[in-house]
Structure 1
């Protein structure tokens, strides 16, 4: 029997969940939200509730379904092998798109140090592709190094963002915030919908919250609570930091900034402090990108192990690194960067975030819908079933709204990708046909 004294406490797991979610997702959001206005802050409340319901539902899936494979395995419980493939396929593409967006964030923060990167579409593209390949090659050393770097660099975002949430209020000016509220006079519903994909972007990764259930004290109690508290804690930091920054930096300057957190610290203190925040943010983005590149390769490896993806994705080196899969992902992300070339980093970032949200939400819907059959197989009590059903309905309602809010262009792109995915599955479906039983003797 495992020693419970060596297992993670509720507080430890809550902290882990919040840190894993925060990453670099917040780093460009203030600039993108400022293009809509401070009214976009209202979307945080909707996304926080929806994200907590999603995280809780994933925790329940993990508790009652012992299979490995995460969202893909949960999806297969209800939707069969094709569901497993589509969840893996769409999640893989979502991570690849998200990595390009993170690279754009990093280049935005590097630009003050290397001004050439901000002079047009081509320099921005060169910087993005250089970072994508730098973090791809750095992962050839295996997961141990990647984990150590990521655990250290993530604080480069968390410390400035959390710090701004607390001390930024001493510089907050209500008149600056009032002028930023709705500068374009957009209808309330339209402004909230426009910013839903942006706020959802900051919460992506909550699906991994239940991954540490084996290392936690009393997982049936603590995993769901940690999901709720961790997601809620991240939401508080997100809301406070993006609210206070709107009351410090004039909206026009914030909307055109490629490094909004560096800008606000320069405004509050001195340009030297702003440059320090720049350096921390660059380190955090690179560390986060390093970790997500490895996660991307692990998703493709897991699918290849299930004979869903080509065999070469499953090949690993002596350092346990799926190098061939990493190179393929690097080429794919380079092509994605080409397709979104724009001289405006914020515009490019926003376009990618919308598409990443759509391709991530579909696996959310397919995997969470499996909670019903998972609970049926586990023969949970009526009270547990009803409680989880309520959370599931909230999670689904938010997911459907977020899909709608992502816009026609992103949803259209997601539908094309899904159609291609089903065609690909058609070519491999024969692998999962059970051999017919041998015919018995004739009567």
Structure 2
């Protein structure tokens, strides 16, 4: 039992740090945690945890392949194959292959660790509350960075027309909606902490000029006004009234602020050529043609480019990713690796709904909806599920925890 608690404790400390720290290319925080290149201390610790878990399992039971781990094993092998395919290609540089593939390793390591017998179950509301607190710390640091941006320690640089912040803010879709849900139904999160979180969320959203998570969070909160219980109490109506008033004041203030975020929401063309909805559709169309020609994938290290509305390559946007994780995964990992990767993501909300039907816990229904909304933001409209620490660790921890929750219900 002591060893299990040790694994849980270490993992959740790592999880908190990866969500709480605003790790993004626009600042130098990640460089302080880097071991070499894009390999960070997080990768090293997770790798050592994997070694310990596998060695502990083998020492107790010998080398046994359990049926429940066959698909996960195939998924892991497909990622290893993608690594070697990238290494085989003459124009791929070793550091590029490592830098590209290391975030996929992060995802796989999390799933192996959380699904292992050395890991202990946690409740869904505990997990979401823990994530809420971690992202609150993230928002505080983000605001401090903005207020002290002249300090060389941060190494700040704006991107895409002065936007401030990073993909970690996409998790606001999860924390804001869950925070409002908790206020309406549970009241386990202190109200002052929730107010602080929402105020910081609005401020950081304005700085980042990111419209996607703002729109999704607003829609998700509106959905919460639909009562999940059979009766509607006066307290429930009172809470809705408070949220409606605060929300109305916030929206009016935001619209009157004439910020870049408002302009991006009201006029979808106020953005770069490669960030419009049309350009993202064109990017998918362009890479889909290439995907059909490379069924085994190009391997890690392949440099991608955003596509202009004119169907020309934006050569100044050379990167490992484009704003569509589905296209990136299928193009680099091939049909087999891509199908396994996407399959793990897509089966997760289905498992959540199955657990909800078995337990009748509203949190699982809410989580399934939030997860789908987040996937739209970080997989369809961006590739943050791959390259953003906070999003990557949240998505793949959720995938592994949902597997555990569903198996626990099946065993009853």
Which of 1 and 2 has higher RCO (CA within 8 Å, sep 6+)? Answer: 1
Return the structure number with greater helix share. Answer: 1
TM-score by length of structure 2 reads: 0.31
TM-score by length of structure 1 reads: 0.29
